[in-house]
C-alpha cells in the first residue's frame, strides 16, 4: 500500500510517499517511505542494518520519553511513618515493574525534602515555645519584684 499523503509544513505543503508495510499491531505504517523506495527505513528489506539499528535506538529513546502510565499508590508525606510507608510501597512497586526508577527517585527526593522541612518547622515551633517560656519567666520575675517592694 503506497499513498500520497500531503504533509502541511506551515505555508508550504509537500507530499511524500507513505511506507507500504504494516506495523507490529497490523496497522499501516505511517512513516514516510525512503527516497525512491516503497518502504520506510525500518521496513525496507534493502535498508542498511546499521541505519535500522540507529532508527530503532532513536525510537526506543522516544518510547522512554512517552507519557507515563499512572501508578495506583497512595502517597503520605504528612508524617515520618507515612513517608516510610510510601517509600516502602514505592520500592515494592519498582520491584514489581509497575513503577519506573525515574518516578521512584522523585518520590525519594520529595520524601527527603518534606521530612527536612518538617524537621525545620518542628525546630522553629520548639524554639518559639522556649522563647515564650523564657519571656513568661521574665514577666513573672518582674511581677514578683513589684510585689516585694
CB of 40 to Zn ion, least distance (A): 3
If DSSP codes are grouped into helix, strand and coil, which group holds residue 32?
A: strand
Whether 108 contacts 90, CB under 8 Å: yes
Q: Which span (29-37, 64-72, 77-85, 111-119) binds Zn ion, by CB under 5 A?
A: 29-37
- Distance, CA of 12 to CA of 79 (rounded, Å): 58
Q: Which span (18-26, 84-92, 110-118, 122-130) binds Zn ion, by CB under 5 A?
A: 18-26
Size of the site for Zn ion (CB under 5 A): 6
Q: Which is nearer to Zn ion, 10 or 45 (CB)?
A: 45
Q: Which H or E run contains 4?
A: strand 4-9
Q: Which is nearer to Zn ion, 5 or 132 (CB)?
A: 5
- Decide the pairing of beta strands 12-17 and 4-9: antiparallel
Chosen residue from 18, 40, 90, 111 binding Zn ion by CB under 5 A: 40
Q: Which alpha helices (H) appear in 37-100, and where do they start and end?
A: 49-65, 80-95
- Chain residues in the site for Zn ion (CB under 5 A): 19, 21, 29, 31, 40, 43
Amino acid at each position: 500500500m503506497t499513498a500520497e499523503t500531503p504533509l502541511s509544513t506551515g505555508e508550504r505543503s509537500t507530499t511524500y510517499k507513505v511506507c507500504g508495510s504494516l506495523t507490529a499491531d497490523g496497522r499501516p505504517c505511517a512513516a514516510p517511505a525512503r527516497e525512491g523506495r516503497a518502504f520506510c527505513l525500518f521496513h525496507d528489506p534493502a535498508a542498511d542494518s546499521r541505519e535500522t539499528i540507529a532508527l530503532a535506538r532513536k525510537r526506543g529513546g522516544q518510547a522512554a520519553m512517552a507519557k507515563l502510565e499512572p501508578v495506583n499508590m497512595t502517597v503520605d508525606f504528612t508524617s515520618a511513618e507515612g513517608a516510610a510507608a510510601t517509600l516502602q510501597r514505592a520500592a515494592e512497586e519498582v520491584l514489581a515493574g509497575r513503577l519506573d526508577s525515574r518516578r521512584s527517585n522523585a518520590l525519594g527526593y520529595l520524601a527527603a525534602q518534606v521530612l527536612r522541612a518538617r524537621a525545620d518547622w518542628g525546630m522553629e515551633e520548639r524554639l518559639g515555645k522556649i522563647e515564650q517560656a523564657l519571656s513568661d519567666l521574665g514577666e513573672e520575675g518582674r511581677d514578683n519584684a513589684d510585689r516585694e517592694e
